[in-house]
Amino acid sequence: MSATQYDVIAIGNAIVDVMAPCDDALIERLGMTRGGMTLIDTARAHELYDAMGPAREISGGSAANTLAGLAALGARCAFIGQVADDQLGEVFAHDIRAGGIAFDTPARAGDPPTARCLIFVTPDGQRTMNTFLGASQFLPPAVLDEAAIAAAKILYLEGYLWDPEEPRAAMRRAIAAAKGAGRKVAFTLSDAFVIERHGADFRAMIETGDVDILFANHVELAALTGHDDFEAGLAELAPKVPVLVVTRGEHGAVAIQEGNRAEVAAEPIARVVDTTGAGDLFAAGFLHGHVSGRSLADCLTMGAIAAAEVISHYGARPEADLKELVLSRLG
């Protein structure tokens, strides 16, 4: 196998998060699904933005957040995602490159504008996300750097981006490029609504061996397998993927690799400020452990450390020194 240029290359939504605190009454008044992620159109985006209090703009997107965590841990990373040639597109590109992540996808001219996610955070730290996908839905297969994909240890794919047709075709081509080069493919299911729409695709990819590392939370596990019982869901899915990682919020996480099982508790934290990006950063810690040859238990612990850091503050990108946090726990 040829030498690798990257530890992880990811394809995902290129989104700028617009975040603001709110009370539960506002969530109800605006008819939002508390704690969920809803896709919205331009009109709804304007309505919700007008109802927001003072907000912060922070580059986001699930896979991009994972790469930010990986890069902070010292991994070599690259991102493929579509922005528009506009102000938020420039913000996204600046932020991801400033994090040491290669990003060379050309900006798209004209409408629609760069994607944004309007995030309402209630006092308990729960986030309610409303996503306008904008330009990110129009990532064409032609812009893929297949040589870079073939030169990465892991191709990481974001389930959220499976919904629109062009990016779905791009990700299928990327999987073929990675597999053709003998590389691993990691996939995150992202949300139960994605599974409702594309579960048949995901199950087929798993059955044909296109997924080497699968990330899910307990809700997504139930949606994919049809088992409300957690252990029953694990028992059905684990034999079908080389590495299965399932998070359970405050109840920790489980990973099963070729029959070997490891579990960790959630990391203790003084106060949950904002759960945005918890799953993304868990994946970052786990993947960094994986590409570094760590044990399954260590990979889970690294994921838990990264997730705990990101929920201790606003925003889905790490602020503390993740390397130091991991070093102080695992050496």
pLDDT in tens, 59-85: 889 999 999 999 999 999 999 999 999
Q: Edge-to-edge strands of the sheet including 127-132?
A: 37-39, 127-132, 115-121, 15-21, 56-60
Can you tell me the distance from the alpha carbon of 139 to that of 89, in angstroms, rounded to the nearest whole number?
14
**What confidence score (pLDDT) does residue 271 get?**
85
Confidence of residue 185 (pLDDT cuts 50, 70, 90): very high
The residue written with tokens 């994607």 in the block is: 115
| Among 61, 47, 121, 118, CA closest to 93 | 61
Give helix 87-98 / helix 62-72 axis angle, nearest 10°.
Answer: 30
Higher pLDDT, 243 or 4: 243
Q: Are 302 and 44 in contact (CB under 8 A)?
A: no
| Among 104, 97, 100, 103, CA closest to 71 | 100
CA distances from 194 to 83, 160, 188, 207 (A): 22, 6, 11, 18
Instruction: Examine the pLDDT at 42 and tell me if it is beyond 80.
Output: yes
Helices H / strands E in the chain, number of each? 12, 14
Summary mean pLDDT of the chain = 93
Q: Are 13 and 133 in contact (CB under 8 A)?
A: yes
- The C-alpha angle with vertex 91 and arms to 191 and 38, in degrees rounded to 5, equals 25
Q: Name the percent of the chain lying above pLDDT 70.
A: 99
| Among 224, 217, 218, 197, CA closest to 283 | 217
SS3 state at 68: helix
Mean pLDDT of 29-35: 93
In this structure, the strands spanning 127-132 and 77-80 are: unpaired
Confidence of residue 2 (pLDDT cuts 50, 70, 90): low
